[in-house]
């Protein structure tokens, strides 16, 4: 992925509460980072966490949808792979 300094930027205007703006400004000052860069980092982190939560939700839904037979098969595969990994590491 290209660095953020070489990507094309879009200017946005947002309105946020003073307390949030103050906290962002404080963090930006402590890091020696411009406010806009700090906001971009915060938004990138949020997007990443949001994507991770969506994946975790999908995984949870998948496992909750399994039948008892599928759960039993999954436990058996887990046991087999754990034993195989243990033998591999102990060699």
The pLDDT tens digits for 16-58 are: 999 999 999 999 999 999 999 999 999 999 999 999 999 999 9
pLDDT band at 61 (very low <50, low <70, confident <90, very high): very high
| Spatial CA neighbour of 22 closest among 30, 50, 13, 11 | 30
Q: What is the pLDDT of residue 7?
A: 82
| Spatial CA neighbour of 40 closest among 5, 71, 65 | 5
Q: What is the pLDDT of residue 5?
A: 59
Cβ atoms of residues 31 and 38 within 8 Å = yes
Q: What residues have CB less than 8 Å from 27, skipping those under 6 apart?
A: 38
The residue assigned the tokens 């087999």 is 80
Q: How far apart are the C-alpha atoms of 21 and 13, rounded to whole Å?
A: 13
């Amino acid at each position: 992925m290209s660095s953020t300094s070489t990507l094309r930027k879009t200017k946005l205007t947002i309105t946020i509460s003073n307390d949030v703006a103050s906290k962002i400004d404080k963090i930006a000052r402590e890091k020696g980072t411009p406010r806009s860069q700090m906001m971009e980092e915060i938004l990138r982190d949020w997007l990443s966490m949001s994507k991770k939560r969506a994946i975790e939700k999908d995984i949870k839904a998948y496992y909750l949808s399994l039948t008892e037979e599928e759960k039993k098969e999954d436990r058996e595969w887990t046991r087999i792979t754990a034993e195989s990994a243990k033998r591999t590491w102990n060699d």
